[in-house]
Amino acid sequence: MKVLVACEYSGVVRDAFIEKGHEAISCDLLPSESDLGKHYQGDVTDILNDGWDMMIAHPPCTYLSVSGARWYYHPEDKHLRYEERRPHPMHPNRRQLQQEALDFVQLLLNAPIKKIVVENPISVISSRIKKPTQIIQPYEYGHPTSKSTCLWLKNLELLQPTDVVEPIWINVSKGKRMSKFHYDTYTLPKEERGKIRSATFPGIAKAMAEQWGKDG
């Protein structure tokens, strides 16, 4: 099966499919961190129509994640409807960047590929495009951490848990806790922290290859 893993430079998902015998290639604007398989460094739209059987896409969540919602509107306009709020004075272009990110997600969802997966954390995709098909957690696939991951699926079965474990939490202040995974990466430089947190957990990648690749 020909598999395109879009917006991935870690190579984790691509390599999981290669290990199962599939012809998988990753694509990102950054070079791949793994030399196991082929990687196209460039715009995914360059190769989107190249006859893929499946695409697993990880669009950047910078302007999609709900965690940055406060930066999209003026702090004095909280009482107004979203469309009536002024842009944030420190980030006047953020709404436009978010719309461009949503347009990119829609392009991926509409790609001429039979089987499609779009992956993202909890984000505005749910309210602006459509709700996810399912939400998975790393602790369902052998990793003791909590990180809600949304999947939008086309012509694919739900991804089934393979190894459910207890997530590990760190108490950071009174009444507040953080998953150990996020705690351990919290003090890293922003760019390095972002790379580690955005990579797909190997247990999830393995489940994808084993379950979605079996009918290829």
pLDDT digits (tens, 9 = 90+) for 117-159: 999 999 999 999 999 999 999 999 999 999 999 999 999 999 9
Close Cβ partners of 188 (under 8 Å, ≥ 6 residues apart): 196
Q: What pLDDT is recorded for position 68?
A: 66
Instruction: Say if residue 97's pLDDT is above 60.
Output: yes
Mean pLDDT of all residues in 53-71: 85
Segment 196-207 mean pLDDT:
93
Which pLDDT score is estimated for 15? 98
pLDDT of residue 105: 98
* Dihedrals phi, psi of 145, to nearest 5 degrees: -140, 160
Placement of tokens 């509107």 in the chain: 73
* Predicted local distance difference test score (pLDDT) of residue 176: 87
pTM (2 d.p.)? 0.89
| 2-163+200-212 maps to CATH 3.90.79.10 | no
Alpha-helical (H) ranges within the chain are 12-19, 94-109, 125-128, 180-185, 190-198, 202-212
Give tens-digit pLDDT for 157-170.
999 999 999 999 99
Instruction: Band the pLDDT of 194: cuts 50, 70, 90.
Output: confident
Q: Residue 54 pLDDT > 60, yes or no?
A: yes
Sheet harboring 134-136: ordered strands across? 38-41, 23-28, 2-6, 54-57, 115-121, 149-154, 134-136
Parse the chain into domains and list their residue ranges.
Answer: 2-163+200-212, 168-198
- Which residue has better confidence, 109 or 188? 109
Tally the residues of the chain.
Answer: 216
Note the pLDDT of residue 216.
56
Mean pLDDT computed over every residue of the chain = 92
pLDDT at 21 over 80: yes
Pairing state of beta strands 149-154 and 134-136? antiparallel
| pLDDT at residue number 82 | 72
Counting Cβ atoms within 10 Å, is residue 117 exposed (0-12), middle (13-18) or buried (19+)?
Answer: buried
Provide, rounded to the nearest whole percent, the portion of the chain with pLDDT above 70: 97
CA 136/CA 167 separation, integer angstroms: 13
